Structure 1
Amino acid sequence: MNIAVSPAAPDPLGIYAAPEMPGVTKYAQLRETLIAAIRGGHWKPGSQLPPERELARMTGFSLGTVQRALRELAETGLLVRSQGSGTYVAEGRGAIDEPLHLRFLGREGEPTFLPLYPKVLSRKRIDERGPWSEWLRQTGADIVRVNRRISVNGEFDLFNRFYFNAETFPGIASAPLPTLDGANLKQMLGNQVSMPVTDVRQRVSYVKFPEEAASATGVRAGTRGILLESAAMAGRHPLYYLESFIPPNERRLDVSST
């Protein structure tokens, strides 16, 4: 007896899948597809996504890949995951106000600069020396590094290392980490010394991403991208040193300091 086998249903998310880019991991590919589906209106704010196994069946990715993509989107605030209930599109997210360094230009019909959504990954006092040591030498040696993953308009992630002096800014050095999510750290530092950022020096280089940066941005180890180094002052006072690892993307970056 012959049994007719129905063809597999087409992937409803296929129209949102971007062409594969060299060096981009599978979970990052799926993450970008889900972002595009949300931005394209396939899922509205507050709506529930299919269960993880259903998403794996629909997209052809493994369950582990689906879980990691969903976890990262939840960490950026685009999704909300509820134990025993499911995964939902967030109603809204807080973006950094008036970004100074990471100003990615929008296209016609979009905001002038794309919104940034930061997620704090870690914070620690460091002893090692680096480019930040020379810049912050006048403010002491108790340096704190805050590592963040920043979503650029929900399109791609960059990895960010923010250095400052703990003695000058004890509040930020000890604040609960969740309170720093979505925060504009450069504004917080400037407000603590009652002075705005008055001078910024920036340097751009093309580098091979360290493992930490590759993992945070969802690219394969050894991928090359942009390293943007930014050093800021308030009057004569060094405020902070910033390293931003920017993976390959289709957006333009304004690196002017005005």
Structure 2
Amino acid sequence: MTGLFTPDAFSETGGGPLYVQLHRRIAEAIASGELKPGDSLPPERELAAMTGLSRVTVRKGVEALVASGQLVQKRGSGTFVAPRVERLEQALSLLTSFTEDMRRRGMQVESRWLSRAVMPPAPEEVMALGLGANDQVARLERVRSSDGVPLAIERASLPASILPDPERVETSLYAVLASRGHRPVRAVQRISAANLAEKDAMLLGVLAGVAGLRIERVSYLPSGQVVEFTRSLYRGDAYDFAVELKLAPEAERTAE
């Protein structure tokens, strides 16, 4: 690693600003595998001494890499190369749960529960689920991870009549619903861009303000009853959503 930070690697006359040169050298070392996920960088004072750069220049170069998600800083521990996140593609034409989707890929699924409880509904839950004045909701909030990497925050609301005991859900919500005969068969899903707030970013292990995907899903039983209202936040650096498009029947006839 010391070869990355020798003073003769940086030029005042070419290669752009010095903090950009430092940024580039570290980024290239990460991309080539010279710096591996989990490797620690020398402390700022030591890095400045090794490179001959000022601490302000070092700080600026490192902060740019933290902002891009290539480095992570842990208070009291130092600066580390961020874990490598495999980018996942999910088809929007299939109604699957997070657990089903990850297991289909052969990946390990973990949940960190934030809350599981039956409580009075919020106004938006009353509207989305079509609840009455005295109805309650089962509310589930958790961080969904795969192979140890947090990917999404999932906040699901269901009529308490459908799920009276939310503590029963340990891994797959849809598996529990299926065992009760309440597996949804269709859903309307909306996706929008979002900048992650500090609390959510911390749960996902990324910087506050980075790009994410906000997904709102309303799912239905065969009878047409709404069974699930879920709002999720996905890491923007880890997920792509894909949908297959087909020519409309009217256009097919026109083309003939």
Name the TM tier (shorter chain): 0.5 to 0.7
TM-score by length of 1: 0.53
1:171–1:25 Cα change, 3 Å: farther
- Is 1:145 matched up with 2:190? no
User: In the alignment, what sits opposite 2:31?
Assistant: none
1:203–1:115 Cα change, 3 Å: farther
Counterpart code for 1:147: E
1:111–1:122 Cα change, 3 Å: closer
TM-score by length of 2: 0.53
User: In the alignment, what sits opposite 2:179?
Assistant: 191
- Is 1:123 matched up with 2:111? no
1:119–1:191 Cα change, 3 Å: same
Counterpart code for 2:184: V
Secondary structure class of the residue paired with 1:187: helix
C-alpha separation in 1, matches of 2:208 and 2:235: 11
Contact preservation (8 Å) 1:206, 1:225: yes
Indicate the percent of aligned positions where both proteins have the same amino acid: 16
User: In the alignment, what sits opposite 1:217?
Assistant: 204
C-alpha distance after superposition, 1:83-118 (max 9, x if no partner): xxxxxxxxxxxxxxx981448989xxx964754322
5 Å-filtered alignment, 1:1-258, equals 14-17=35-38, 20=65, 22=67, 24=69, 29=72, 62-63=75-76, 100-102=96-98, 112=105, 114-124=107-117, 125-130=119-124, 132-138=125-131, 141-172=135-166, 175=167, 180-181=169-170, 183-192=171-180, 194-236=181-223, 237-254=225-242
- For structure 1, the residue ranges without an aligned partner over 5 or more in a row are 1-6, 8-12, 31-60, 70-97
Q: Which has the larger radius of gyration?
A: 2
Q: How many residues align?
A: 174
Contact preservation (8 Å) 1:198, 1:232: yes
Greater percentage in helix: 2
- For structure 2, the residue ranges without an aligned partner over 5 or more in a row are 3-33, 40-63, 83-93, 245-256
C-alpha separation in 2, matches of 1:103 and 1:252: 17
Secondary structure class of the residue paired with 1:147: strand
1:146–1:185 Cα change, 3 Å: same
